[in-house]
Structure 1
Amino acid sequence: MTAASFSTVSASAPHNEAAKALVADAKAHRRRRKVAVLLGGLSAEREVSLNSGANAVQALEQAGYAVKAIDVSRDIPTLVRDLQKIGPDAVFNALHGRYGEDGCMQGILNILGLPYTHSGLLASGLAMDKPSARRLFAEHGLRVAEGKVVTREEIMVADPMRRPYVVKPLNEGSSVGVAIVRESDNARYFANSEWPYGDQVLVESYIPGREFTVAVMDGHALGVTEIHTDRTFYDYDAKYAAGGSVHTLPAQIDPELYTACQRVAIQAHQTLGCRGISRADLRFDGKDIYLLEVNTQPGMTRTSLVPEQADLAGIPFPDLCTWLVETAECDT
């Protein structure tokens, strides 16, 4: 599926000078030549990853790197041999979801001693495991929705909390498997539905209001985007189907709220120990900002939210990919 959400961008938005300086420094001190791009993978987000990876390959080639794309499968010995044969100076991890964004691939690259883009093993694992991330955020003073982990059977017997509430897989991204159970829904959730995401689920109270997202680059917030959709919520189709959503960038909100959204995203990035780029998804109910989740490997398609915010900050996509490659690390 090709990501094709429409966006509206204000030409009057200020450039992010701090982020631009980071990119300029990375370009001035380039030390890497060969890059392997990991894409595809095994998760429910495979199609999005293929799109992100293809876009990254094109951008990196445009930036002057020798690039080799690897479509990742369950054949890990072949993946290891391919990486060893290529001998990349860095790995651009364009995988999304399980086995690519949850620490599994990061662990393999750590063992191989290959620097890779985005967050390390621990931050990746924490961010993908929603219950763990929620506990950590709450412990550090970040506001999250009321929630708990329950079994499928418990939901089929009785509502685990007052409606409306949100049902989420414990460790999927891109809103895969997410549903809202509303007052008007007659049947119990799962009563007549397939659920391939495990026996336990996360349920959270539904937060009404406006949806914002903030990209964080090395501790600097790039901007605030408001997301609008005519769908029930910002689900998988709203994110990636043509016309599924509209991005208003920068968000047309009070400056104090704009700054507060950026502050929450930066704190969430730091709380998880993220590096490279992350993206925080937020809800504002008119009074408080709620942190929904942090994406440690946000989409890199042509209409994804992070490239949009980087572009607004004065960072073209090839420069953004260059910065990710030149700052790539592996855990020691």
Structure 2
Amino acid sequence: MNTKELLQRARDGLKIAIVYAGDKNHPDAVIERQMNSRDWKSYRLVAEDIAGALEGEGFSDVIVLPEDRHLGDAISRSNIDLVWLNSGGVQGLNPMAHAPALLEMLGVPYIGHNPLAVSLLDNKHVFKSMCMAASLPTARSVVIAPFVEDCNFIESGNFESVFHGFPGPFVIKPVSGRASKNVYFAESKIEVTHAVEDVWNETGHLCLIEEYLPGNEFAISIMGSRVRQDGEFVTHGGPFAFSAVQRRFEPHEKIFTSMDVKPITYDRIRLLDLSRERELISKIENLARQVFARFTLNSLVRLDMRESRDGELQLLEANPKPDLKRPSEHTASITCAGLAQRGMSYADLIVSILADRMADLSKTRNKDSTILKKLLATS
């Protein structure tokens, strides 16, 4: 069955839920409130954009649900066939892994990374360790546990074994986060301690100290191989990389200002030119494809990278839940920035993500699953 046929059956028969992050402060959202190792945002507006795009494509049974203690019951009551995870989690450690873990246990198919993959991607120190093990370039770094008794960690053997007398500058950030929140630039070791304490106070979790890279910063998005371009579905020979952009910095900016403080407008990013910058784009795409393969990914991810002093690309981090908010006249989306360049619209991207997942599900061994019976039933 081709992709168009799968999608048509999905339009006619599937009930889809787009899930955003519930608020732990809402009554009855959780059993007991606790810290969140990741800066929280609901992403409800983005979930509504995704739902709107699907409805515009003819999917008539789409609802939006919060991730909270009632999610499993809500999915069951609504007879949901497929969940689209658009949540960064509610609270606790590794919050992005909670919803996919729940869905795995319930046996509900979903769009998004599996619990292990999302944990590897969202925990920057683990992602960087995995990159090093896979011989992928990434800036050197150390992890500091919160409120260690010896606050002179910058003189420790662990710190020295990584940085070998490097005087700075450094970047200090939470190991898990979003939108460049709680990220600090430290010119020297003297400034590092205060920045680390600020991260601890904000997150109560691990802090990453990373060598500052002074070169240009880039981002690229990458997903599965099935994509709708110029109105037709195309299956590429490997994962589809797109929207290679350069982040633009103000003269005083050392790190990209959080979108919560300064929205991402079109003058803050520059789409790389497919003709004039083909060599650079190829390097960025190749690095993205290596990550996609080494981490055995099967869903959309955005990768951030920056040039070192000698101009070599170094991986900074992976974003397992890139912003899928529909771009507006004044606000840009890094992931959507290069869609027109590839003959795609926002709706094309949303449908492509869904279609790629549908194709994967159609090949599963569990032929008795409800969603497969609907997708593969004889017309």
TM interval, shorter chain, is: 0.7 to 0.9
How many Å apart are 1:300 and its aligned residue? 0.5
Map 1:1-332 → 2, pairs under 5 A: 26-30=3-7, 31-32=9-10, 33-42=14-23, 44-47=39-42, 49-65=43-59, 66-73=61-68, 76=69, 78-96=70-88, 102-153=96-147, 156-157=151-152, 159=154, 162-183=167-188, 188-190=193-195, 193=198, 195-218=201-224, 219-230=239-250, 231-237=253-259, 241=263, 243=265, 246-251=268-273, 254-285=277-308, 286-301=310-325, 302=327, 303-328=332-357
Compared with structure 1, are the counterparts of its residues 54 and 311 closer, same or farther at alpha carbon in structure 2 (3 Å cutoff)? farther
Whether the 8 Å contact between 2:172 and 2:195 is mirrored in structure 1 is no
TM-score normalized by the length of structure 2? 0.72
Compared with structure 1, are the counterparts of its residues 104 and 287 closer, same or farther at alpha carbon in structure 2 (3 Å cutoff)? same
How many Å apart are 1:67 and its aligned residue? 1.0
How many Å apart are 1:174 and its aligned residue? 2.4
Q: 3-state DSSP class of the match of 2:185?
A: strand
Give distance in 1, aligned partners of 2:196 and 2:351. 48
How many Å apart are 1:283 and its aligned residue? 0.3
Q: Which moves more between the two structures, 132-141 or 180-189?
A: 180-189
Give distance in 2, aligned partners of 1:186 and 1:202. 14
Whether the 8 Å contact between 1:37 and 1:92 is mirrored in structure 2 is yes
Give distance in 2, aligned partners of 1:227 and 1:247. 5
Compared with structure 1, are the counterparts of its residues 236 and 45 closer, same or farther at alpha carbon in structure 2 (3 Å cutoff)? farther
Q: Which moves more between the two structures, 159-168 or 187-196?
A: 187-196
Compared with structure 1, are the counterparts of its residues 239 and 52 closer, same or farther at alpha carbon in structure 2 (3 Å cutoff)? farther
Compared with structure 1, are the counterparts of its residues 235 and 98 closer, same or farther at alpha carbon in structure 2 (3 Å cutoff)? farther
Whether the 8 Å contact between 1:147 and 1:202 is mirrored in structure 2 is yes
**Amino acid paired to 2:319:** N
Whether the 8 Å contact between 1:165 and 1:203 is mirrored in structure 2 is yes
**Amino acid paired to 2:6:** H
Give distance in 2, aligned partners of 1:195 and 1:180. 17
Give distance in 1, aligned partners of 2:19 and 2:75. 10
Give distance in 1, aligned partners of 2:211 and 2:116. 27
Give distance in 2, aligned partners of 1:149 and 1:269. 24
1:4-54 CA distance string (max 9 Å, x none)? xxxxxxxxxxxxxxxxxxxxx63442132321000133552414x123212
1:96-149 CA distance string (max 9 Å, x none)? 367687321111111222221122121111111222111111111110101011
Q: 3-state DSSP class of the match of 2:74?
A: helix
How many Å apart are 1:58 and its aligned residue? 1.2
TM-score normalized by the length of structure 1? 0.81
1:234-278 CA distance string (max 9 Å, x none)? 132378626496221125864222101110011112222211211
Compared with structure 1, are the counterparts of its residues 175 and 232 closer, same or farther at alpha carbon in structure 2 (3 Å cutoff)? same
Whether the 8 Å contact between 2:172 and 2:192 is mirrored in structure 1 is no
After the TM superposition, which parts of structure 1 deviate over 4 Å for at least 4 consecutive aligned residues? 97-101, 152-156, 184-187, 242-245, 329-332
**Amino acid paired to 1:89:** D
The match for 1:16 is none
Give distance in 2, aligned partners of 1:101 and 1:258. 33
1:196-248 CA distance string (max 9 Å, x none)? 32253111100111111111121121241111132442132378626496221
For structure 1, the 5+ residue unaligned runs are 1-24
| Higher normalized contact order (CA 8 Å, seq sep 6+, divided by chain length) | 1
Q: Which moves more between the two structures, 200-209 or 159-168?
A: 159-168
Q: 3-state DSSP class of the match of 1:56?
A: helix
Q: How many residues align?
A: 304
Compared with structure 1, are the counterparts of its residues 62 and 239 closer, same or farther at alpha carbon in structure 2 (3 Å cutoff)? farther
1:172-198 CA distance string (max 9 Å, x none)? 232222211114976842487472322
Task: Provide the identity percentage.
Answer: 19
